[in-house]
A and B are shown apart, each in its own frame.
Chain A
Amino acid sequence: MSFAEFLPQLLPILILLGLVLAVIGALRRILLWRQGQESTIHWAGLFSIPQRYLVDLHHVVASDKYISNTHVATAGGFVLTALLVILIYLFDVATNILNYALLASSGLMFVGAVFVLMRRINPPPNLSLGPWSRLPYSLLIFSSSFFVLTLPASGLLPIDSGSWLLAILLVVGIIWGVGEMFFGLTWGGPMKHAFAGALHLGLHRRQDRFGGGRSTGLISIDLEKDKLGVEKPEDFKWSQLLSFDACVECGRCEKACPAFAAGQPLNPKKIIQDMVVGMAGGNTAKFAGSAYPGVELGSHKGGAVIPIVDVLLEANTLWSCTTCRACVQECPMMIEHVDAIVDMRRFETMEKGKTPGKGAEVLDNLNTTDNPNGHAPSSRMNWAADQNLAVFGSDVDRADVLLWIGDAAFDMRNQRTLRAMITLLRAAKVDFAVLGDCECDSGDLARRLGDEATFQRLAKTNIATMSQFEFKHIVTADPHAFHCLKNEYADFGGHYDVYHHTGFFADLVKNGKIKLNTNNAISLTYHDPCYLGRYNGEYDAPRYLLEAMGINVKEMERSKSKSRCCGGGGGAAVTDIPGKQRIPDMRMDDANSTGAEIVAVACPGCSQMLEGVVEPRPQVKDIAELMLDALCEEVV
């Protein structure tokens, strides 16, 4: 028997074996996911997988052109090659066109794989090693084996060219290639990302994220349940377990994470990989990427029914997160890190009562005084004693605009912003009123600290208060309140037309209601607040306002969707997990490197965090304050 006869007999067996094992692996993996809790299955999403891959996923990947092109070549080549291999060698449908197509596709995959390999010559620290370093070789072997195998069949080489040596090499190559690409696809190799990733794209828990949509509000939970939040991996929704399996360990999240950069014990990539360990069982020693800063690798283990905190990861890892969403924005696989972290925080806070730092005190204050610092609720309007504001309920019952003050009312720094806003609104002759002492904290802080109960109480109280009055819009200077009112109150019956003050003022300037002086030659950079930018997509209005004042914004390297958090989100300023440096200091370094003399902000949290950086540093000013300086007073 020559190898020309031997190979065609062996090949179908090998391919069939690979496929059968892949199917068994897939079923096994699905059983792992099914350990999770029930949640809606969006079957229709499965039909959108190709579109979501090509549009939504590639939109994220394309921020790095090198890898997006490489991935198109490799993945496209692989999918085509795999289909053709099955057609030709398993079902024996051998036409010349198919053979040439297989040559082309495996060639394409080979070229892609070469670029994958080049990427890994000096891999950046965010890439995982281990099995992921093996992958480019597997890709090369898979593509080259089928390329060489198909050469004689296509007639480009005589049928019996080569020798037994080549045949053995081919067999080894095909076993390796099929092993990695078919078997590994569902049995936990690096190629798992293709299988789980495709399903995750289709069955994603937040279907609204696709097709240009946005879904950033935290998902509420039923407070009557026997267990609140996530204690063990099996307490996640099955769709979340699936999403963890989609991770490609590219480490873009790690590069974007402010807590990781500050040396706090958090690495979003590792959290997701730890969840995979938790779901499948095992220990964390095999992880081949960067550890949580300050935490030794491999000292933890997990299982689906083993509690996560203190066994699989340390509580401080969860509490380091600023919920800035940079990881979610960067993730090409659309994994929702923040959802998972908040789910675990909910258990820590609502079942164990272990919110670290000042967390417990702040939550107590929210419950007894409706503001995080425990000020008297009756002193909420003290800051505006000289402002003569119309108050809903006591002065008016309807107004065009409900001005949401937020907890800036108790903070002398941010009262300056509020005063500026009021002068501007009056200059534009806007009919507005405030809730006065009836306003409560929006619940943002409580919710991010995992206290869903307090959030829901505050949300329901605020909704009940607002339902008594008539207004068209809500305007607020606080992006956190903006986000809650706009995206998170809807679950409890609060549907409002909410503006952040920059968006509202931008409209007023466009309509000529506010006239701004245009000769402001200020050297200025703008810091995008997470909850305005990444959470709500508002990057343009603040920049429009700054340009309307004649200011040429010196953009930081990390700006717009890549903006770095100030360190104050998600209760991180309250839990205060130690790291090597402070996040606001890093952000101020970003600002310093532009040479700007002023950092414009649009969030009371950001102004507090950035003003906490020691001088000398650029001045921190809210856009409303800058606008007040540039306001053209009409002479009466």
Chain B
Amino acid sequence: MIFDPSLNIVTLVSIGEHPLSGRPRRAEQDARALELGLKLVADNLQVLYIGQAKSPATVSVLKDYLGMGLGQIQVLDVPPQADISNTLLENFKANCPDIILTGGRAENGESSGMIPYLLAEQLNIPIVTSITDIVSIDMLTGLAEVLQALPRGQRRKIKVSLPFVASVDMAAPAPRQSAYGCAMRGQLVVKDFNQSIDDVGQRHWQVNSAQMRPKRLKIVKAKTAADRFKAATAKIQGGSGKVIYDSKESAQEIFKLLRDEEML
């Protein structure tokens, strides 16, 4: 624990899904968010799950999270049709934590990645995305310094005022191992959440399984090791993009690109 234990930090966790086997597991980003929370306030971390508490997959995965050394996880039991973000909002309105840590997006379901944004918007607090660490928190000024992950291993230091929402990036330190003994002894504190709000929009949705998108072939242009190293590490130089408003002009531009790529 490196910070004031009175700091109220909540980590939201979800049920992940292994990309190859499809089995439920700790969601990779959520587990990193949990790891970060444990690093910051250890036992004082609050962990919250919202979903169907009774499903066996939920219980087994929440136990995996408990195995990281948690005493308990708060579970808000809501029906499948509930709107998670609004229900969470109801939960936080009365008592907003200092920091809400989440993953970037869920590994299954809607997987829209909107939860942190919606929460921040509705609670009217700032959001920092893709963080890897919280470096310091000044309780006097109410400012926290966080590290944000940028492509190619770069980091940006951001100052943000408490309270805030932060989504944790895959570049954050890997979560600790889940220990079976702790997992078995940890408690799931289930609360029936009566005020859950149905997701009205979802009612009329039709769900199809996603289709694999075609991948662009990677052509290695670098001739030397130094070139490859540069390609892997150098900052992308922006500036080549332009904003075109005229529809004819933009069509022309797309046509030119397809030509260049030898697709026409």
Which of these binds chain B: A106-114, A323-331, A368-376, A427-435?
Answer: A368-376
Residues of chain B within 8 A of A360, CB atoms compared:
176-177
Residues of chain A within 8 A of B181, CB atoms compared:
227-228, 350-351
B67 interface residue per 8 A CB criterion: yes
A54 interface residue per 8 A CB criterion: no
Which of these binds chain A: B20-28, B135-143, B147-155?
Answer: B20-28
Nearest CB in chain A: distance from B31 CB, A: 10
Residues of chain B within 8 A of A364, CB atoms compared:
25, 177-178
Q: Are the CB atoms of A353 and B182 closer together than 8 Å?
A: yes
Residues of chain B within 8 A of A453, CB atoms compared:
180
CB-contact partner of B67 in A353, A368, A452, under 8 A? A353
Q: Please, which residue of chain A has its CB at the minimum distance from the CB of B69?
A: A353
How many A-B contacts are there with CB distance less than 8 Å? 56
Distance between Cα atoms of A228 and B184 in the complex (Å): 11
Q: Are the CB atoms of B25 and A451 closer together than 8 Å?
A: no
Q: Please, which residue of chain A has its CB at the minimum distance from the CB of B25?
A: A368
A355 interface residue per 8 A CB criterion: yes
Q: Mark A348-364, 1 if CB is under 8 A from B, else 0.
A: 01111111000110011
Q: Please, which residue of chain A has its CB at the minimum distance from the CB of B176?
A: A353
A223 interface residue per 8 A CB criterion: yes
Most buried by B among A368, A369, A376: A368
Q: Are the CB atoms of B179 and A352 closer together than 8 Å?
A: yes
Distance between Cα atoms of A377 and B20 in the complex (Å): 7
Distance between Cα atoms of A227 and B179 in the complex (Å): 12
Q: Are the CB atoms of A355 and B180 closer together than 8 Å?
A: no
Q: Please, which residue of chain B has its CB at the minimum distance from the CB of A375?
A: B20
Q: Are the CB atoms of A353 and B177 closer together than 8 Å?
A: yes
Residues of chain B within 8 A of A223, CB atoms compared:
180, 184
Most buried by B among A224, A367, A379: A367
Q: Please, which residue of chain B has its CB at the minimum distance from the CB of A351?
A: B181
* Number of A residues, CB within 8 Å of B: 29
B68 interface residue per 8 A CB criterion: yes
Chain B contact residues, majority secondary structure: loop
Q: Are the CB atoms of B21 and A355 closer together than 8 Å?
A: no
Interface residues of B toward A: which range? 10 to 19
Residues of chain B within 8 A of A353, CB atoms compared:
67-69, 176-179, 182
Nearest CB in chain B: distance from A437 CB, A: 11
CB-contact partner of A349 in B25, B68, B176, B179, under 8 A? B179
Q: Are the CB atoms of B21 and A377 closer together than 8 Å?
A: yes
Q: Are the CB atoms of B177 and A376 closer together than 8 Å?
A: no
Distance between Cα atoms of A187 and B181 in the complex (Å): 38
Distance between Cα atoms of A375 and B19 in the complex (Å): 10
Nearest CB in chain B: distance from A630 CB, A: 39
Q: Please, which residue of chain A has its CB at the minimum distance from the CB of B19?
A: A376
B235 interface residue per 8 A CB criterion: no
Distance between Cα atoms of A308 and B21 in the complex (Å): 38
B18 interface residue per 8 A CB criterion: yes
Residues of chain B within 8 A of A376, CB atoms compared:
20-21
Nearest CB in chain B: distance from A379 CB, A: 8
Distance between Cα atoms of A359 and B179 in the complex (Å): 12
Distance between Cα atoms of A224 and B178 in the complex (Å): 17
Distance between Cα atoms of A378 and B68 in the complex (Å): 29
Distance between Cα atoms of A341 and B20 in the complex (Å): 34
Distance between Cα atoms of A563 and B177 in the complex (Å): 35
Distance between Cα atoms of A93 and B212 in the complex (Å): 96
Residues B167-206 near A (CB distance < 8 A): 176-182, 184
Nearest CB in chain B: distance from A440 CB, A: 11
Known: A367-B25, A368-B23. A350 touches B179 (CB 8 A): yes
Nearest CB in chain B: distance from A121 CB, A: 51
Residues of chain B within 8 A of A227, CB atoms compared:
181
Q: Are the CB atoms of B20 and A351 closer together than 8 Å?
A: no
Q: Are the CB atoms of A368 and B68 closer together than 8 Å?
A: no
Distance between Cα atoms of A352 and B177 in the complex (Å): 9
Nearest CB in chain A: distance from B11 CB, A: 18
Residues of chain A within 8 A of B69, CB atoms compared:
353
Q: Are the CB atoms of B18 and A354 closer together than 8 Å?
A: no
Q: Please, which residue of chain B has its CB at the minimum distance from the CB of A454?
A: B180
Q: Please, which residue of chain B has its CB at the minimum distance from the CB of A451?
A: B180
Residues of chain B within 8 A of A452, CB atoms compared:
180
Nearest CB in chain A: distance from B29 CB, A: 15
Residues B13-65 near A (CB distance < 8 A): 18, 20-21, 23, 25
Q: Are the CB atoms of A368 and B177 closer together than 8 Å?
A: no
Residues of chain A within 8 A of B20, CB atoms compared:
369, 374-379
Nearest CB in chain B: distance from A196 CB, A: 32
Distance between Cα atoms of A452 and B180 in the complex (Å): 9
Residues of chain A within 8 A of B176, CB atoms compared:
353, 360
Nearest CB in chain B: distance from A369 CB, A: 5
Q: Please, which residue of chain A has its CB at the minimum distance from the CB of B68?
A: A353
Nearest CB in chain B: distance from A301 CB, A: 26
Q: Please, which residue of chain A has its CB at the minimum distance from the CB of B23?
A: A368
Distance between Cα atoms of A349 and B178 in the complex (Å): 9
Distance between Cα atoms of A453 and B64 in the complex (Å): 13
Residues of chain A within 8 A of B67, CB atoms compared:
353
CB-contact partner of A369 in B18, B177, B178, B184, under 8 A? B18
Nearest CB in chain B: distance from A496 CB, A: 26
Known: A368-B18, A369-B18. A351 touches B23 (CB 8 A): no
Residues of chain B within 8 A of A352, CB atoms compared:
179
Q: Mark A336-353, 1 if CB is under 8 A from B, else 0.
A: 000000000000011111
Distance between Cα atoms of A369 and B17 in the complex (Å): 11
Residues of chain A within 8 A of B18, CB atoms compared:
368-369
Nearest CB in chain B: distance from A231 CB, A: 10
Residues B109-167 near A (CB distance < 8 A): none
Most buried by A among B25, B69, B177: B177
Distance between Cα atoms of A227 and B184 in the complex (Å): 11
Distance between Cα atoms of A223 and B178 in the complex (Å): 15
Nearest CB in chain B: distance from A227 CB, A: 7
Residues B90-110 near A (CB distance < 8 A): none
Distance between Cα atoms of A36 and B182 in the complex (Å): 23
Nearest CB in chain A: distance from B212 CB, A: 14
Residues of chain B within 8 A of A355, CB atoms compared:
177
Distance between Cα atoms of A364 and B183 in the complex (Å): 14
Q: Are the CB atoms of A354 and B177 closer together than 8 Å?
A: yes
Residues of chain A within 8 A of B178, CB atoms compared:
353, 364
Q: What are 28 A-B pairs at a CB distance below 8 A?
A: A223-B180, A223-B184, A227-B181, A349-B177, A349-B179, A350-B180, A350-B181, A351-B179, A351-B181, A352-B179, A353-B177, A353-B178, A353-B179, A353-B182, A354-B177, A360-B177, A363-B177, A364-B25, A368-B18, A368-B21, A369-B20, A369-B21, A370-B21, A374-B20, A376-B20, A377-B21, A379-B20, A453-B180
A-B pairs, top 4 by smallest CB distance, nearest first, are A353-B179, A376-B20, A360-B177, A353-B177
A-binding residues in B (CB < 8 A) = 18, 20-21, 23, 25, 67-69, 176-182, 184
Given contacts A355-B177, A378-B20, 5 further A-B contacts (CB under 8 A): A228-B180, A368-B25, A369-B18, A369-B20, A453-B180
